[in-house]
Chain A
Amino acid sequence: MKDVLLTLTAGNARTLSGHAIMGNGWNGEMAQTMADEKELFWELLADRQKKLFNFLHRALNFSEDSQDVYQEVVIRAWKYFPSFDRRQKFSTWIFTIAHNEIKKYFNQRKKEHKVIPLELLGTDPPAPVGDPVVALIFGAARQLPLRQREVFFLFYYNKFSIAEIAAISGLRQGNVKFILSSGRETVRRALEANHEK
């Protein structure tokens, strides 16, 4: 995944300040700048959208709802992109939105089903993978609570650093390390159990 640290002197940000200073045909040029901004958003997203989609798919236990959550994340990010702080990394920013949308999704689900009916339990589809080792890792990750599962995939799949995961999830770095260690041990136990068989 390419990560571009945007600064105010780069690319479209420069266009934005340039147009604002010149002030000729301000409305038209601002509209053009806003269009450029949106264009930049799609360019930045293009490099990360597959990883984002797969992260959501995994964090939501391969549920089809992850498609809706993905849409929400992209739309929300698109809407708020003009206020995105260019000193931040785009990937950290959009995954923070993803983290919030996952939380929102589970809260809504909790509200809808104050008591989760039996038929809804365990209805998440199994990991659709053929490789038994990959399936085993997914199986182990699935046993983790939501927050731990998110941290697990952010680290092992999306390759974020511990500091970045802390920023995305709002956890302390110490907690992130603890969660990762617990996730690692869960996978280790699953692998050892499989090896013994």
Chain B
Amino acid sequence: MKNDELDRFISQNLEKYELEIPDIVQEQVRRRVAAALERPLRAAWKRSALWGALLAAAILVFVIALPQFFPPVPAARKISQIRTEFSIPEKNIKIIWVQRADFQMPEPNG
């Protein structure tokens, strides 16, 4: 027998015998599908609870860590006084000049 003929012969003979799918198998498939359809609903609750807890924890961590990344900006400082020192060591003289914002020149007498 040639290859093509043999191929046809095998195919035809294999098709002669076919089993029907047992009803019990079909029924079990239906039952498992129905169970699988219910399961995601229950799992969804668990999943959302888990995600909720994770989200709360993440927010907490973020709030705690926030000052580390963004430290409060200090208020602009004001210069309250300027201190200048002059020193003449050979004459043993040291002059300290302090300028203050609230310094008032004394009124000249008279």
Contact = CB atoms under 8 A, between A and B. Distances in A.
A188 B1 contact: yes
Contacts of B21: 49-50, 53, 70
Interface in A29-75: 49-50, 53-54, 57, 67, 70-71, 74-75
B53 interface: no
Interface in A108-148: 127, 129, 131, 133-134, 137-138
Nearest to B25: A67
Nearest to B3: A184
Interface residues of A, number: 27
B3 A134 contact: no
A153 B14 contact: yes
Contact of A157 (B14, B22, B32): B14
* B: interface residue count bin: 20 to 34
A184 B25 contact: no
A156 interface: yes
A75 B32 contact: yes
Interface stretch (B5-13, B43-51, B68-76, B96-104): B5-13
A67 B32 CA distance: 14
A49 B26 CA distance: 10
B103 to A, nearest CB: 73
Interface of B: 1, 3, 6-7, 10-11, 13-22, 25, 28-29, 32-33, 36
